[in-house]
Amino acid sequence: MTAGARADAASEVAGWPSWTLSEPQLADLELLLSGAFAPLTGFMSAADVAAVGERGELADGTPWPFPVTLDVPENAISPDATRVMLHDPEGTPLAVLDVAGRSLLPAGAGSGDGSGDRGLIRLDGKVTAHREPEHGPFRRLQLSPAEVRAQLGGGPVLAFATRGPLNSRQIGQLRHLAGQLKARILLLPLISGPADVVTRPEALIRTVLAAAESLPSGTLVVPVPLARRRTGPGHELAARAAVCAAYGATHLFADGAGGADRPGGAGRAAGRGGRAAGRGGRAAGRGGRAGGQGGGSAAADPGTVIPVVSAGDWAYDRVADVWRPLALIEAGTERAELAPDELADLLDAGAEVPAWFTPPAVARELISARPARSAASCSS
């Protein structure tokens, strides 16, 4: 391209309207551009959103479980705009949206991303990368789905997508299930928005890397900017399943501790809106148990290719000093794990993180990420 042509292109781009993305919108854009939301290539049309809500699929019949939309204030973009430059919060132009449609949203119908719910329009259309994103922690670890699939090869892969630190129960269950499946483990810390307990995305990544030291060699840690889904029951788990499929997972670990990872939540997610399409229409099945001592999996719907697997109910056996299936523990000697709020209170008080609860490497990262309140106030 000649200097004159580059100048003309720069002048054209400078004349386009622009929009600075909120954190959830930025996360969606990154996953659209990386292929993690394939087959989507842009923000969904009104017809696609309606079809997802009604049937759990796009307007063309492709399974897809949750809406991916771009909502902006009504006066933010000119009605005749055909292209919009999308910026990150630092002002870096990341992508171009070719506007294919726009619709006025009724009050209260916004995407819940902080942009408000009055006077919003929804823009849809294909997005094209303009510049590589540079923001975010541990960027070197944020591989694309294609890069991750190349590293994992073609064997079974057990994925766990999490917004909180791993504890010894989860580590034990992952080892158990990976052994049963003869699978490699893929850990996806979800870094869009605040993390559970440790709050900061970079702290979440550090705790997950520390937990990986207690998992089989070959375990891969890939931070993923997946925003929390607030658009309907089961959408959070369905979004995790879609992303895990895109990154090459063959099985999804459903953590029975709570939240979107409950096996029951998996069941809710696999109904009409829960066939989580990943690469080429891959899907996640409904969670459940299939016999055996403390383990099981279930591919619920016909045609699903990523079963949601659960290790069943586990507890800490105080006599054997090990985490194991509850059915194998003598009644009265079991101990439940610390709830997230209990762990947060313990860290805030500066108390020791129990060795039975989490490995020392993870405990050190927890303490570093959330120092005692007295220590934090002294240093401020």
Q: How confident is the model at residue 162 (pLDDT cuts 50, 70, 90)?
A: very high
Higher pLDDT, 128 or 256: 128
User: How far apart are the C-alpha atoms of 345 and 322, rounded to whole Å?
Assistant: 24
The token pair at 8 is 């003309």
Q: Flag whether pLDDT at 303 surpasses 50.
A: no
Q: How confident is the model at residue 5 (pLDDT cuts 50, 70, 90)?
A: very low
Q: How confident is the model at residue 269 (pLDDT cuts 50, 70, 90)?
A: very low
User: How far apart are the C-alpha atoms of 160 and 91, rounded to whole Å?
Assistant: 33
DSSP structural state of residue 350? T
Higher pLDDT, 349 or 273: 349
Half-sphere exposure of 376 (CA within 13 A, CB side): 11
Higher pLDDT, 110 or 113: 110
Closest C-alpha among 185, 136, 132 to residue 162: 185
The token pair at 117 is 């719910």
Q: How confident is the model at residue 326 (pLDDT cuts 50, 70, 90)?
A: very high
CA-based max dimension of the chain: 79
Q: Flag whether pLDDT at 178 surpasses 50.
A: yes
Higher pLDDT, 136 or 138: 138
330 to 173, 295, 313, 324, 325: CA distances (angstroms): 19, 18, 14, 11, 11
Q: Flag whether pLDDT at 327 surpasses 50.
A: yes
What's the one-letter identity of residue 333? Answer: T
Q: How confident is the model at residue 234 (pLDDT cuts 50, 70, 90)?
A: confident
Q: What pLDDT is stored for residue 237 in this prediction?
A: 82
Is there a cis peptide before residue 39, judged by omega within 30 degrees of 0?
A: yes
Q: What pLDDT is stored for residue 279 in this prediction?
A: 33
Burial of 90 (0-12, 13-18, 19+ CB in 10 A): exposed
Closest C-alpha among 129, 127, 105 to residue 117: 105
CB 87 within 8 A of CB 19: yes
**pLDDT tens-digit readout, 272-299:** 233 333 333 333 333 333 333 444 544 3
- The model's pTM is 0.84
Q: What pLDDT is stored for residue 119 in this prediction?
A: 86
Q: What pLDDT is stored for residue 111 in this prediction?
A: 60
Query: How many residues would you count in the chain?
Result: 380
Q: What pLDDT is stored for residue 255 in this prediction?
A: 84
R_g of the chain, CA atoms, integer Å: 22
User: How far apart are the C-alpha atoms of 40 and 288, rounded to whole Å?
Assistant: 29
Q: What pLDDT is stored for residue 121 in this prediction?
A: 95
Q: Flag whether pLDDT at 342 surpasses 90.
A: yes
Q: What pLDDT is stored for residue 139 in this prediction?
A: 87
Q: What pLDDT is stored for residue 294 in this prediction?
A: 44
Q: What pLDDT is stored for residue 211 in this prediction?
A: 98
Domains of the chain: residue spans and CATH = 3-129 (3.10.400.10), 140-314 (3.40.50.620)
Half-sphere exposure of 242 (CA within 13 A, CB side): 36
Q: What pLDDT is stored for residue 154 in this prediction?
A: 87
Q: What pLDDT is stored for residue 254 in this prediction?
A: 83
Count CB neighbours of 153 within 10 A: 10
Q: Flag whether pLDDT at 183 surpasses 70.
A: yes
**pLDDT tens-digit readout, 252-266:** 998 854 344 443 333
Q: What pLDDT is stored for residue 281 in this prediction?
A: 35
Q: What pLDDT is stored for residue 274 in this prediction?
A: 34
**pLDDT tens-digit readout, 20-62:** 999 999 999 999 999 999 999 999 999 999 999 999 899 999 9
Least confident of 82-86, 87-91, 189-193, 301-305: 301-305
User: How far apart are the C-alpha atoms of 349 and 351, rounded to whole Å?
Assistant: 5
Q: How confident is the model at residue 300 (pLDDT cuts 50, 70, 90)?
A: very low
Q: How confident is the model at residue 134 (pLDDT cuts 50, 70, 90)?
A: confident
Q: Flag whether pLDDT at 202 surpasses 60.
A: yes
User: How far apart are the C-alpha atoms of 206 and 364, rounded to whole Å?
Assistant: 10
Share the mean pLDDT of the chain. 83
**pLDDT tens-digit readout, 61-90:** 999 988 999 999 999 999 999 999 999 999
The token pair at 217 is 């060699």
Q: Flag whether pLDDT at 177 surpasses 60.
A: yes
Burial of 288 (0-12, 13-18, 19+ CB in 10 A): buried
DSSP string, 114-170: SS-SSSEEEEEEEEEE-S----STTGGG---HHHHHHHHTTS-EEEEEESS---HHH
DSSP string, 211-269: HHTTS-TT-EE--B-PPPP-SSTTHHHHHHHHHHHHTT-SEEE--TTSGGGSHHHHHHH
